[in-house]
Amino acid sequence: MSRIDLQPAWVLHRRAWRESSLLVDVLTPVHGRLVLVARGARAARSPWRGLAEPFIPLQASWTRRGDMGTLTALEAIGDSTRLTGRALWCGLYVNELVMRLTARDDPSPELFTLYSRLMLALTEPERLSIGLRRFELGLLDLLGVMPDLTREAGGECMVSLQGRYHVDPELGPVPAGQGGADVFSGELLLALAEDKLEIGDVATQARALTRLLIDRQLGGKPLQTRSLFGGSG
């Protein structure tokens, strides 16, 4: 049996388990995504009541034998991120993405940092779209599935600022005509490649592209957050 003490953690999802406990999916930098049993967390006098929730920066301790661990300590290390409206949808959407697209027990300090930065961005309405796009693109990059947006498919020609392109999720930009669905300007693709999301409405324009790339990774299986809220980032 292993014992882990006071690791930074974010709750991604929680569900009732047995009479008064919870099963909690958490994201940690060193141990990746894992499931912990929070025994008695739903009891009225539990010290963890109200803590095992999404959007609260936490430190967690647990023991583990087998696939699941057992939570032994939990404490907040900062104020909860109070999300409403579109920001709440974005937070739940990102949690579902991480649950769907990442494997358990796959350590990724980079993903934890990316997620933590997004939590800060979600509290600033004017930066919400920028933060969400940056997270989506960063997640795709960490998964190793982000195409090179600076070169046309095949890698022989550079993307042109004046060009128009379809983006194949596996091959990258493919020259397109002047119109049609899922056609992106070379200017947009190069701005994204250079992380210039703050310029103009780059973050808003990029929404269709990140959705295209993420949907490929989801394999046609719909996200519950899209169905429930009918929203878009």
Strand duo 58-64 + 2-17: pairing: antiparallel
pLDDT score, position 229: 60
Examine the domain organization and report whether 58 and 121 are in the same domain. Answer: no
User: Can you tell me the mean pLDDT for 120-126?
Assistant: 90
Residue 82's Cβ-side half-sphere holds a number of Cα atoms within 13 Å equal to 1
Examine the domain organization and report whether 54 and 12 are in the same domain. Answer: yes
pLDDT over threshold 60, residue 233: no
Examine the domain organization and report whether 147 and 191 are in the same domain. Answer: yes
Please give the helix or strand (H or E) that residue 159 lies within, else none.
Answer: none
* Domain limit, last residue, from 76, 94, 112: 76
Examine the domain organization and report whether 149 and 225 are in the same domain. Answer: yes
pLDDT score, position 232: 47
What would the two tokens of residue 34 be?
Answer: 């894992």
Examine the domain organization and report whether 25 and 50 are in the same domain. Answer: yes
Q: Structural domain of residue 176, as residue ranges?
A: 85-229
3-class DSSP assignment, residue 31: coil
pLDDT band at 80; cut points 50, 70, 90: confident
Examine the domain organization and report whether 125 and 51 are in the same domain. Answer: no
3-class DSSP assignment, residue 56: coil
Tell me the CA distances in angstroms from 200 to 113, 173, 183, 196, 203, one per residue in order: 26, 22, 19, 9, 8
Examine the domain organization and report whether 38 and 135 are in the same domain. Answer: no
Number of domains in the chain: 2
pLDDT score, position 210: 96
Burial (CB count <10 Å: 0-12, 13-18, 19+), residue 27: buried
CB count, 10 Å around CB of 198?
A: 11
pLDDT score, position 106: 95
pLDDT over threshold 50, residue 152: yes
Q: Is the pTM of this model over 0.85?
A: yes
Helices (H), the chain: 85-101, 109-121, 128-142, 186-193, 202-205, 207-218, 224-229
pLDDT score, position 82: 81
pLDDT over threshold 50, residue 72: yes
pLDDT tens sequence across 10-49? 999 999 999 999 999 999 999 999 999 999 999 989 999 8
The vertex-185 CA angle with 184 and 186, nearest 5°, equals 120
Q: Return the residue matching tokens 């394999």.
A: 219
pLDDT band at 180; cut points 50, 70, 90: low
Comparing 231 with 217, the larger pLDDT belongs to 217
User: Do residues 133 and 197 touch, judged by C-beta distance below 8 A?
Assistant: yes
Which of 63-72, 88-97, 174-183, 193-202 is predicted least confidently?
174-183
pLDDT score, position 75: 95
Examine the domain organization and report whether 65 and 107 are in the same domain. Answer: no
Mean of pLDDT over the chain: 93
CA–CA separation, 206 and 192 (whole Å): 8
Examine the domain organization and report whether 117 and 47 are in the same domain. Answer: no
* Domain limit, last residue, from 40, 56, 76: 76
CATH number at residue 58: 2.40.50.140
Report the DSSP beta bridge partners of residue 17: 21
Examine the domain organization and report whether 45 and 98 are in the same domain. Answer: no
Examine the domain organization and report whether 218 and 160 are in the same domain. Answer: yes
* Domain limit, last residue, from 76, 95, 110: 76
Which of 1-5, 149-153, 205-209 is predicted least confidently?
1-5
CATH number at residue 139: 1.20.1440.120
